[in-house]
Amino acid sequence: MQKYSYKKKEVDTQDVSNSNKDVDKKRHIFRIASYFCIGILGIGTGFLANSLYWKYVVLKDKEKVKGIQHSIEQILAEDEEEQELINLDDGPIRSPLNGIELTDAKYEKISQHIPHAVMISNNQSARVEQYGLNSADIVYEAETEGGITRFMAIYWSNQEGYIIKPIRSVRKYFFDWAIEYGNIPVTFTGFADTDNYNTDAWGFYIEQKIRVTYFDWPFLWDDACISQHPRMHCKRTAPELLYQVFDKYGWSFESWEGFVNKSEWSFDKNLPGNAEYIDTTEFSYDFTWPNEWSSRWTYNQQKNLYEKHDPDEAHIDMQDNEVITASTVIIQKTKRTYTYDEEQRVEYETVGSGEAYIIRDGKRIEGVWEKKCHKCRTRFFHVKHPSGNSINIEIPLKPGKIWIAVVPQDKEIQWIN
């Protein structure tokens, strides 16, 4: 089960102790004063002093102590309520993003920082400059315009030892997928400001109050890259640069609101035994027509991972010079509409439902995706289930890297078994 970051509220009981001491001290002083008045000025004056003592000291200080005690009780009540929402059982700690198991030490280390998303170019000329995709927990792949695709990588479990490159601009639908993860920061180099609500990334950023690093420009130019490639492919960043921005604005892990209704995906390292599977060792998909932005995946049985090709050659992460891999590949088919504007922008239907395939362990499961609102999580459910009831039976994902290809619904998937 998942373990949420949690800091127990510390109640300063010293305030109560000190207040009680103050009350006792004042009582002692006024008692002496009242006795003095009784002896010197008479019983009536003594009673007057004693009455004033009770009215202005004892009762007032009792109210003070009562107020402090009430505050403590309220804090403890909130604390108890929060503990009820937090799963701290004896099971393994799992990442809420991709379900991997975390040691206590690993969890404590990575929970120093909030998850975040970064836009990464996939231009053909940029691939020799692509860094950091293998370090991501989740990657989204979708068309931007003119058949060109782009990636949005979400990071949390790996926080050091790599760069992210090349950083590019965001589209509104990528924002829509990012806010499923709560108020995570998003890094990019620009966004569209259009009159069309369905493509207006700037307006959506304002509307949803999305955390962005854009105005702090946490990027570095790669001079060696500039000498060989277009400048737009030569901006890079790194976790430590982004964390400086996050710290500046107080975007800590504690500030992360998490998923709506704590709606993590279902994870299982084993395929459930009561579902229908189809052997799937190789498959490919296009976003427009077969071209350099088509993707092909092959199953590596020894590693129990899928390896990406683009489409003829292995797609390499230049950080480690290794092929890009995923434990689970999700094909989410959705409605795509061309706007025919000057930038050839496209619209994606992000809220709704449609056909989906969950591919893991050399098998694929037919399913449907559903997203009920902008901030709601996209969920994946069975279409065919032996129980005869496929409604709300979620398909478990394999813990590890998750790759989500958002493919136009009119494009056929090529299953090459």
Q: Is the pLDDT of residue 292 over 60?
A: yes
Residue 111 lies in a domain: no
Predicted confidence at residue 35, as pLDDT, reads 46
pLDDT tops 50 at residue 136: yes
- Give the residue from 32, 65, 85 where a domain finishes: 85
pLDDT at 66: 52
Q: Is residue 353 part of a domain?
A: yes
Q: Is residue 1 part of a domain?
A: no
- Do 246 and 142 fall into the same domain? yes
- Which pairs with CB-CB distance under 8 Å and at least 24 residues apart come from 6-11? 6/82, 6/83, 6/86, 6/88, 7/254, 8/79, 9/75, 9/76, 9/78, 9/79, 11/72, 11/75, 11/76
Give 55 or 135, the one with higher predicted confidence: 135
Q: Would you say residue 87 has pLDDT above 60? A: no
Last residue of a domain, which of 64, 85, 106?
Answer: 85
CA distances from 61 to 18, 73, 77 (A): 11, 18, 24
* Residue 106 included in any domain: no
Q: Residue 26 belongs to what domain range?
A: 14-85
Residue 125 confidence (pLDDT): 84
Q: Residue 47: inside a domain, yes or no?
A: yes
Statement to judge: residues 167 and 285 lie in one domain: yes
71 with 153, same domain? no
Terminal CA-to-CA distance of the chain, rounded, Å?
A: 35
298/400 same-domain check: yes
**397 near 328, Cβ under 8 Å?**
yes
How far is residue 337's CA from residue 346's CA, in Å, rounded to a whole number? 6
Do residues 166 and 61 share a domain?
A: no
- 244 and 366 share one domain: yes
Match 């992210």 to its residue by tokens: 164
Residues 78 and 166 placed together within one structural domain of the fold: no
Identify whether 252 is part of a domain. yes
Share of the chain above pLDDT 90, in %: 67
Question: Can you give the C-alpha Rg of the chain in angstroms?
Answer: 30
- The per-residue pLDDT for 144 is 94
Q: What is the pLDDT of residue 393?
A: 87
Q: Do 406 and 266 fall into the same domain?
A: yes
Q: Is the pLDDT of residue 10 over 80?
A: no
Q: Which CATH number belongs to the domain containing residue 200 in this structure?
A: 3.50.90.10
Q: Which of 85, 104, 124 is the last residue of a domain?
A: 85
Is 20 within a domain?
yes
| 26: CB partners within 8 A, 6+ apart | 57, 61
Pair (179, 46) in one structural domain: no
Please state the domain count of the chain.
Answer: 2
Residues 301 and 361 in one domain: yes
Residues 321-347 have pLDDT tens digits of: 999 999 999 999 999 999 999 899 999
Name the pLDDT band for 146 (thresholds 50, 70, 90).
confident
Q: What is the mean pLDDT of residues 49-53?
A: 47
36 is a domain residue: yes
pLDDT score of 112? 95
Q: Binning pLDDT at 50, 70 and 90, where does residue 86 land?
A: very low
> Among residues 67, 113, 75, 107, which one has the least CA distance to residue 91?
107
Residues 79 and 188 in one domain: no
Q: Are 141 and 151 in contact (CB under 8 A)?
A: yes
Pair (64, 138) in one structural domain: no
